[in-house]
Copies of this chain bind each other. A is one copy, B any other.
Amino acid sequence: MVDEQGRVSGQQFSEKPVLRLARKDILGIQEMSASEISLILDTAESFKEVSTREIKKVPTLRGKTVINLFYEASTRTRTSFEIAAKRLSADTINISTSTSSVAKGETLIDTAKNLEAMNPDCIIIRHSASGAPHLLARLMRVPVINAGDGAHEHPTQALLDLFTVREKKGKLAGLNVAIVGDILHSRVARSNIYGFTKMGAEVHLAGPRTMMPAGVEKLGVRWHSNLREVVPQADVIMMLRIQLERQGSGFFPTLREYSRFFGLNLEVLKEAKPEVLIMHPGPMNRGVEISPEVADGPFSVILDQVTNGVAVRMALLYLLVGGERETDRSSV
C-alpha cells in the first residue's frame, strides 16, 4: 500500500526505501534476477491501487524530473510512463524525434549528455537501435529505463506481462506460456522469454520458421511450427503483433495465409484450457493475429496489461528514483 503521503509499506518517501534495486538502470530482463523481478512486481502491487483512488496522486517523486526521450513513435508506452510519473508527482518532459535536434545531426550521446546536464532524475528512452539504452546507461549517472530498443528488449512490457499473469494466476512458476508470432523481430517476445523462464514458467514459441531466431532453444524454450500444438497445454497465450509491412517480404506470403496458420480465433481457442489467459502487447491487428471475438472475449487480459503497465512503471520510477542516493545526501 502507498498512502496519501506516498509512504510505501510504512516508509516515508523522503527516507531510503527499505526495498532497493541493486541496479541504476532497467535495460533488459536478460540481466535481471528472479528476486529483482519479484521485488518490482511486489512494489507494483502497492502502486496499482493508487490509480483507482479518487485522487490518483502521491507526492513520492515531487521535485523530480523524468524525461521521455522517444526516437520511435508510441502512444501507449509514452503515455503510460507519463501518467506513471505524474501520479508520482514528478515533472515530465517529452522529447520525440520530430521535435528534437536529431534532425540537426547531433549524436545520441551528445543529446543524452546534454539532457543529463539539466539534472533530470531519470531518462526513459525508446530507440530503433538495439543497445542504445545500454550505451546511454554506461555514460550517464542518471537512471535509464529502456522503453524498447530495436528488436532487442522491451523490459517494462515483460514486467507488466509478468505482473498480469501473476495477478490472475497467483503464481508464475510452473505455468505453460505460449508466445505466438514473429519472435525474430519482437523485443516483446525476447524480454518475455527471459522473464517467464527466469520465473520458472515453461515457454513455448509458435510461429513460422522464418520468424524464429536461430538457436532459440538455447534460451530454454521450445519452438513449434503449429499454433495448435501449443494451445491445449497453455495457461497463457501471448499473441504478437505482426508487422503488416513484412507481408511478401520472404517472412510470410500473405496476411491471410499468416492468419490462417497463426491467428488466434474462437475455433482455435476451443482447444485451450478453460482458464487460459489471452494476452497481446498491442497495437493489435484485429482479424490478423487475433480475432475480435478473442481479443474482446472473456479470456482476454489485454486491457489489464495496459492498466498494470502504469503500476509497473510507477514501481520502477519509485525504485530507481524514489530513494535518496548517498551522493545526494550532502545537498539536502
Chain A's interface size range is 35 or more
Known A57-B63, A284-B106: A101·B87 in contact at CB below 8 Å = no
Task: Say yes or no for A254: interface residue by CB 8 A criterion.
Answer: no
**A22 contacts the other chain (Cβ, under 8 Å)?**
no
Contact B62 A331 (CB under 8 A): no
Closest to A296 in B: B113
B93 pairs with A83, CB closer than 8 A? yes
* Closest CB in chain B relative to A87 CB, distance in Å: 7
Is A103 part of the contact surface with B, judged by Cβ < 8 Å? yes
Min CB gap A304→B, angstroms: 8
- Interchain CB contact under 8 A, A91 and B83: yes
Could you tell me if A110 and B65 are in contact, using CB atoms closer than 8 angstroms? Answer: no
Cβ contact within 8 Å between B244 and A53: no
How many copies of this chain?
Answer: 3
Binds B, one of A71-79, A128-136, A231-239, A258-266: A71-79
Taking CB atoms and an 8 Å cut-off, the chain A residues in 91-110 that contact chain B are 91, 93, 95-96, 98-107, 110
| Cα–Cα, bound, A148→B220 (Å) | 52
- Rounded to whole angstroms, the CA-CA distance of A79 and B62 in the bound complex is 19
Contact present for B95 and A79 (CB under 8 Å) = yes
How long is the Cα–Cα vector from A73 to B103 in the complex, in angstroms? 9
Report the minimum CB–CB distance from A6 to chain B (whole Å). 12
* Contact in complex: A99, B117 (CB < 8 Å): no
Q: Would B324 and A54 count as touching, CB distance under 8 A?
A: yes
Q: Which of A96, A100, A310 has the most CB of B within 10 A?
A: A100
The reply to whether the CB of A249 lies closer than 8 angstroms to some CB of chain B is no
Instruction: Tell me the minimal C-beta distance from A23 to chain B in angstroms.
Output: 21
Mark contacts of A169-207 with chain B using CB atoms, 8 A cut-off: 1 yes-contact digit, 0 otherwise. 000000000000000000000000000000000000000
Q: How far is the CA of A324 from the CA of B282 in the complex (A)?
A: 32
Residue A138 CB within 8 A of the other chain: no
Check if A303 is an interface residue, CB within 8 A of chain B: yes
* B98 close to A99 (CB less than 8 A): yes
Known A64-B56, A114-B76; judge A91-B87 contact (CB<8 A): yes
Q: Which residues of B contact A282 (CB under 8 A)?
A: 101, 106, 110, 114
- Whether A214 is near chain B, meaning CB under 8 Å from some CB there, is no
Q: For window 44-93 of chain A, which residues contact chain B by CB distance below 8 Å?
A: 51-57, 62-65, 67, 70, 73-76, 78-80, 82-83, 86-87, 91, 93
Tell me the complex Cα distance, A110–B191, Å: 24
Given known A99-B75, A100-B73, contact A113–B57 (CB-CB < 8 A)? no
Beyond A91-B86, A93-B83, whether A65 also contacts B56 by CB under 8 A is yes
Question: Which 6 A-B residue pairings sit nearest by Cβ, starting from the closest?
Answer: A55-B63, A106-B283, A117-B306, A57-B63, A86-B91, A117-B303
Which residues of A are in contact with B by a Cβ distance under 8 Å?
Answer: 14, 51-57, 62-65, 67, 70, 73-76, 78-80, 82-83, 86-87, 91, 93, 95-96, 98-107, 110-111, 113-121, 244, 282-286, 303-304, 306-307, 309-310, 324, 328, 331-332
Beyond the given pairs A83-B93, A106-B282, 5 more chain A to chain B contacts, judged by CB atoms under 8 angstroms and listed by A's residue number, are: A54-B332, A63-B87, A73-B99, A105-B283, A111-B283
List 14 contacting pairs A-B, 8 Å CB cutoff, sorted by A.
Answer: A52-B119, A53-B331, A54-B63, A55-B63, A75-B95, A75-B100, A76-B114, A80-B118, A105-B283, A110-B282, A110-B283, A114-B303, A117-B306, A119-B310
